[in-house]
Amino acid sequence: MAKTLYMVGNWKSNKTLEEAKKWIQKYSCQVKDARVKNVICPPFPYINSLEFPLEVELGAQDVSPFPFGAYTGAVSAAMVSVAVKYAIVGHSERREYFHETHQEVANKAAECMSSQITPIVCIDSPYLKDQITALDPEIYNNLIVAYEPLSAIGSGDPDTPEHADEVSRRVKELTDNSVPVLYGGSVSAGNVADFVSMPNIDGVLVGGKSLDPVEWSDLVQVAYSTITE
Protein backbone atom coordinates (compact mmCIF):
# COMPACT_ATOMS: atom_id res chain seq x y z
CA MET A 1 0.00 0.00 0.00
CA ALA A 2 1.57 3.24 -1.15
CA LYS A 3 -0.17 5.76 1.07
CA THR A 4 -1.43 6.07 4.62
CA LEU A 5 -5.20 6.01 4.46
CA TYR A 6 -7.19 8.32 6.73
CA MET A 7 -10.77 7.26 7.43
CA VAL A 8 -12.35 9.89 9.66
CA GLY A 9 -15.92 9.57 10.97
CA ASN A 10 -17.57 12.71 12.33
CA TRP A 11 -20.60 11.96 14.47
CA LYS A 12 -21.43 15.66 14.79
CA SER A 13 -23.99 16.43 17.53
CA ASN A 14 -25.63 13.00 17.37
CA LYS A 15 -26.19 9.97 19.62
CA THR A 16 -27.04 9.46 23.25
CA LEU A 17 -24.36 7.78 25.33
CA GLU A 18 -26.36 4.51 25.09
CA GLU A 19 -26.49 4.76 21.30
CA ALA A 20 -22.77 5.42 21.19
CA LYS A 21 -22.12 2.28 23.27
CA LYS A 22 -24.34 0.24 20.93
CA TRP A 23 -22.34 1.54 17.95
CA ILE A 24 -19.22 0.06 19.52
CA GLN A 25 -20.95 -3.29 20.17
CA LYS A 26 -22.04 -3.55 16.53
CA TYR A 27 -18.79 -2.34 15.00
CA SER A 28 -17.28 -5.28 13.13
CA CYS A 29 -14.46 -4.01 10.94
CA GLN A 30 -11.60 -6.49 10.46
CA VAL A 31 -9.07 -3.98 9.15
CA LYS A 32 -6.16 -3.81 11.55
CA ASP A 33 -3.27 -2.26 9.68
CA ALA A 34 -1.16 0.58 11.03
CA ARG A 35 -1.29 2.27 7.62
CA VAL A 36 -5.04 2.75 8.03
CA LYS A 37 -5.98 5.52 10.43
CA ASN A 38 -9.50 4.69 11.54
CA VAL A 39 -10.59 7.80 13.45
CA ILE A 40 -13.96 8.42 15.09
CA CYS A 41 -14.85 11.90 16.36
CA PRO A 42 -17.59 11.61 19.00
CA PRO A 43 -19.14 14.58 20.84
CA PHE A 44 -16.90 16.00 23.61
CA PRO A 45 -18.74 14.47 26.61
CA TYR A 46 -18.30 10.94 25.28
CA ILE A 47 -14.60 11.12 24.52
CA ASN A 48 -13.58 9.75 27.90
CA SER A 49 -16.51 7.45 28.53
CA LEU A 50 -16.39 5.15 25.49
CA GLU A 51 -14.13 2.17 24.95
CA PHE A 52 -13.50 1.74 21.26
CA PRO A 53 -11.61 -1.22 19.76
CA LEU A 54 -7.85 -0.65 19.80
CA GLU A 55 -7.56 0.10 16.09
CA VAL A 56 -10.02 3.02 16.38
CA GLU A 57 -8.34 6.32 17.25
CA LEU A 58 -10.22 9.28 18.62
CA GLY A 59 -10.65 12.78 17.31
CA ALA A 60 -12.42 15.85 18.66
CA GLN A 61 -14.91 17.74 16.49
CA ASP A 62 -13.55 21.12 17.52
CA VAL A 63 -11.22 22.85 19.99
CA SER A 64 -11.08 26.32 21.46
CA PRO A 65 -8.99 28.94 19.64
CA PHE A 66 -7.62 29.87 23.09
CA PRO A 67 -5.33 28.12 25.58
CA PHE A 68 -6.39 27.46 29.21
CA GLY A 69 -7.95 30.52 30.83
CA ALA A 70 -11.07 32.61 31.37
CA TYR A 71 -12.99 31.45 28.30
CA THR A 72 -16.29 30.15 29.69
CA GLY A 73 -17.57 27.06 27.94
CA ALA A 74 -14.46 26.55 25.85
CA VAL A 75 -12.66 23.20 25.62
CA SER A 76 -8.96 23.76 25.00
CA ALA A 77 -6.79 21.54 22.83
CA ALA A 78 -4.65 20.72 25.88
CA MET A 79 -7.72 19.36 27.72
CA VAL A 80 -8.60 16.85 25.02
CA SER A 81 -5.03 15.99 24.07
CA VAL A 82 -4.90 13.24 26.69
CA ALA A 83 -7.60 11.33 24.81
CA VAL A 84 -7.47 12.36 21.14
CA LYS A 85 -4.79 12.40 18.46
CA TYR A 86 -6.80 14.44 15.96
CA ALA A 87 -9.26 17.35 15.97
CA ILE A 88 -11.49 18.58 13.18
CA VAL A 89 -11.33 22.37 12.97
CA GLY A 90 -13.17 24.78 10.71
CA HIS A 91 -15.93 22.42 9.65
CA SER A 92 -18.33 24.35 7.41
CA GLU A 93 -21.07 23.93 10.04
CA ARG A 94 -18.82 25.72 12.57
CA ARG A 95 -18.01 28.41 10.02
CA GLU A 96 -21.71 28.87 9.18
CA TYR A 97 -23.59 28.45 12.48
CA PHE A 98 -20.86 29.66 14.84
CA HIS A 99 -19.47 32.33 12.49
CA GLU A 100 -15.90 31.13 12.73
CA THR A 101 -13.46 33.13 10.63
CA HIS A 102 -10.43 31.84 8.71
CA GLN A 103 -8.21 33.39 11.39
CA GLU A 104 -10.08 31.70 14.28
CA VAL A 105 -9.78 28.39 12.49
CA ALA A 106 -6.06 29.02 12.01
CA ASN A 107 -5.77 29.81 15.74
CA LYS A 108 -7.51 26.52 16.57
CA ALA A 109 -5.09 24.67 14.32
CA ALA A 110 -2.17 26.38 16.10
CA GLU A 111 -3.62 25.39 19.52
CA CYS A 112 -3.79 21.79 18.29
CA MET A 113 -0.16 21.95 17.27
CA SER A 114 0.86 23.20 20.72
CA SER A 115 -0.89 20.19 22.24
CA GLN A 116 0.44 17.55 19.82
CA ILE A 117 -2.96 17.07 18.19
CA THR A 118 -3.11 16.78 14.41
CA PRO A 119 -5.69 19.30 13.17
CA ILE A 120 -7.95 18.24 10.32
CA VAL A 121 -8.68 21.64 8.78
CA CYS A 122 -11.81 21.71 6.63
CA ILE A 123 -11.79 23.94 3.57
CA ASP A 124 -13.99 24.59 0.55
CA SER A 125 -12.86 25.54 -2.94
CA PRO A 126 -14.12 29.15 -3.30
CA TYR A 127 -12.07 30.25 -0.26
CA LEU A 128 -9.38 27.62 -0.40
CA LYS A 129 -6.43 29.96 -0.87
CA ASP A 130 -7.48 32.33 1.96
CA GLN A 131 -8.24 29.42 4.28
CA ILE A 132 -4.84 27.87 3.65
CA THR A 133 -2.78 31.05 3.75
CA ALA A 134 -4.34 31.94 7.13
CA LEU A 135 -2.59 28.86 8.57
CA ASP A 136 0.88 29.16 10.05
CA PRO A 137 3.20 27.19 7.69
CA GLU A 138 4.90 25.83 10.80
CA ILE A 139 1.98 23.44 11.22
CA TYR A 140 2.39 21.87 7.77
CA ASN A 141 4.38 18.98 9.19
CA ASN A 142 1.46 17.96 11.40
CA LEU A 143 -1.61 18.94 9.42
CA ILE A 144 -4.40 17.22 7.52
CA VAL A 145 -6.67 19.18 5.19
CA ALA A 146 -10.19 18.03 4.34
CA TYR A 147 -11.77 19.36 1.17
CA GLU A 148 -15.52 19.50 1.77
CA PRO A 149 -17.66 21.22 -0.86
CA LEU A 150 -20.74 22.72 0.81
CA SER A 151 -23.16 21.34 -1.77
CA ALA A 152 -21.94 17.79 -1.10
CA ILE A 153 -22.32 17.74 2.69
CA GLY A 154 -25.30 15.66 3.76
CA SER A 155 -26.92 16.02 0.33
CA GLY A 156 -26.29 12.61 -1.23
CA ASP A 157 -24.65 14.49 -4.10
CA PRO A 158 -20.86 14.11 -3.81
CA ASP A 159 -18.28 15.96 -5.87
CA THR A 160 -16.78 14.03 -8.76
CA PRO A 161 -13.62 12.13 -7.78
CA GLU A 162 -11.74 13.91 -10.61
CA HIS A 163 -12.64 17.39 -9.34
CA ALA A 164 -11.96 16.44 -5.73
CA ASP A 165 -8.57 15.13 -6.84
CA GLU A 166 -7.80 18.38 -8.67
CA VAL A 167 -8.69 20.46 -5.58
CA SER A 168 -6.56 18.14 -3.41
CA ARG A 169 -3.65 18.63 -5.78
CA ARG A 170 -4.00 22.42 -5.44
CA VAL A 171 -4.09 22.12 -1.64
CA LYS A 172 -0.87 20.12 -1.72
CA GLU A 173 0.70 22.73 -4.01
CA LEU A 174 -0.28 25.53 -1.62
CA THR A 175 1.18 23.70 1.37
CA ASP A 176 4.38 21.68 1.27
CA ASN A 177 3.21 18.91 -1.09
CA SER A 178 3.23 16.31 1.68
CA VAL A 179 0.10 17.33 3.61
CA PRO A 180 -2.53 14.56 3.46
CA VAL A 181 -5.77 15.76 1.87
CA LEU A 182 -9.12 14.09 2.54
CA TYR A 183 -12.36 14.39 0.62
CA GLY A 184 -15.65 14.82 2.50
CA GLY A 185 -19.27 15.13 1.40
CA SER A 186 -21.78 12.29 0.91
CA VAL A 187 -19.15 9.56 1.06
CA SER A 188 -20.56 6.03 1.38
CA ALA A 189 -19.37 2.44 1.05
CA GLY A 190 -20.71 2.63 -2.51
CA ASN A 191 -18.49 5.52 -3.66
CA VAL A 192 -15.49 5.52 -1.31
CA ALA A 193 -13.35 3.46 -3.72
CA ASP A 194 -13.69 6.16 -6.40
CA PHE A 195 -12.22 8.77 -4.05
CA VAL A 196 -9.45 6.88 -2.28
CA SER A 197 -8.12 5.53 -5.58
CA MET A 198 -7.35 9.10 -6.73
CA PRO A 199 -3.63 9.97 -6.58
CA ASN A 200 -3.99 13.16 -4.49
CA ILE A 201 -6.71 11.96 -2.08
CA ASP A 202 -5.42 10.37 1.13
CA GLY A 203 -8.71 9.41 2.73
CA VAL A 204 -12.21 10.60 3.53
CA LEU A 205 -14.10 12.59 6.15
CA VAL A 206 -17.53 11.05 6.62
CA GLY A 207 -20.57 12.39 8.45
CA GLY A 208 -23.88 10.56 8.00
CA LYS A 209 -22.51 7.16 7.09
CA SER A 210 -20.22 7.04 10.11
CA LEU A 211 -23.25 6.95 12.40
CA ASP A 212 -24.03 3.38 11.45
CA PRO A 213 -21.41 0.89 12.69
CA VAL A 214 -22.09 -1.59 9.89
CA GLU A 215 -21.81 1.07 7.19
CA TRP A 216 -18.65 2.43 8.80
CA SER A 217 -17.10 -1.05 8.97
CA ASP A 218 -17.92 -1.56 5.27
CA LEU A 219 -16.56 1.84 4.33
CA VAL A 220 -13.21 1.17 6.00
CA GLN A 221 -13.05 -2.33 4.51
CA VAL A 222 -13.83 -1.17 0.95
CA ALA A 223 -11.35 1.71 1.15
CA TYR A 224 -8.65 -0.59 2.49
CA SER A 225 -9.26 -3.21 -0.21
CA THR A 226 -9.14 -0.51 -2.91
CA ILE A 227 -5.76 0.73 -1.74
CA THR A 228 -4.21 -2.70 -1.18
CA GLU A 229 -5.49 -4.41 -4.35
User: Nearer Cβ to ligand PGA, position 13 or 178?
Assistant: 13
Q: How far apart are CA 100 and CA 136, in angstroms?
A: 17
Min. distance of Cβ 72 from ligand PGA in angstroms? 27
Is 99 noted as a catalytic residue in this protein? no
By beta-carbon distance, which residue lies closest to ligand PGA?
Answer: 207
Cβ closer to ligand PGA: 82 or 105?
Answer: 105
Q: Smallest distance from the beta carbon of 40 to ligand PGA, in angstroms?
A: 13
- Report the interface residues with ligand PGA, using CB under 6 A: 10, 148, 153-154, 184-187, 205-209
Nearer to ligand PGA, 78 or 128 (CB): 128
Indicate the residue among 117 and 219 with the shorter CB distance to ligand PGA: 219
Catalytic residue among 18, 57, 148, 163: 148
Biggest distance spanned by C-alpha atoms of the chain: 52
51 carries an active-site annotation: no
Q: Which of 18, 57, 91, 111 is catalytic?
A: 91
Q: State the minimum distance, in angstroms, from the CB of residue 218 to ligand PGA.
A: 14
Say how far apart CA 184 and CA 54 lie, in whole Å. 24
- Shortest Cβ 95–ligand PGA spacing (Å): 12
Which residues does the annotation mark as catalytic?
91, 148
